[in-house]
Amino acid sequence: MAQDNKGTIITIGLVILLGLLLQVVFCFADNIDTHHKAAVDFAKAYFGLDGSAMSERLCDERRVVEGVNVVDKYIYLATKEAKDRGFGLFYVKDKLYKIKTNTISKDDSRAKVELTCYRKPQLKSFFTGEPYKKVDEIINLVKEDNRWKVCGKVFSLPEN
């Protein structure tokens, strides 16, 4: 009977050790920056109205146009629209579902990714019953400082 307990303890110990090892491997894999990850991160930030995350994933050339920070302008316009409709900013945020990416073209410093997903309001109104809306966008990315960043016209981000 003592032998059975020893075998069980060793088995449980090995399973826990394997679980910890896999957790470390998955953490490192999640931190690898890819063009797909950059496109998805930007889209989530854009529809979630997260200005700082959007700025992180937007290329330098696109961040400030004619002296205007396009991310700040986009957040301002979204806030204004929400207030005009009688809501707070939280009510106009969207979440993304069923996200799929496809590489159209890629080289060492540029990539073009097709992003397809569905978005739905974070707080779906019982009365309006807004349905899921399909998002199908081609996103241009460039590599700046060893990170993939979104560049060019994307979604309805203001040009200036």
pLDDT at residue 30, rounded to an integer: 67
Tell me the pLDDT tens digit for each residue of 127-150: 555 667 888 999 999 998 888 999
pLDDT tens digits, residue range 55-100? Answer: 888 888 777 777 778 888 889 988 898 888 887 887 788 889 899 9
d(CA 152, CA 4): 64
Looking up tokens 């807004």, which residue turns up? 130
Q: For the segment 25-52, what is each residue's pLDDT rounded down to a tens digit?
A: 877 766 778 888 999 999 999 999 998 8
Q: Note the pLDDT of residue 154.
A: 83
**H-helix or E-strand containing 14?**
helix 2-30
Please give the pLDDT value at position 69: 85
- Give the pLDDT of residue 26: 78
What pLDDT shows up at residue 127?
54
Alpha-carbon gap, residue 114 to 103, rounded angstroms: 6
pLDDT at 1: 47
- 135 forms beta bridges with 117
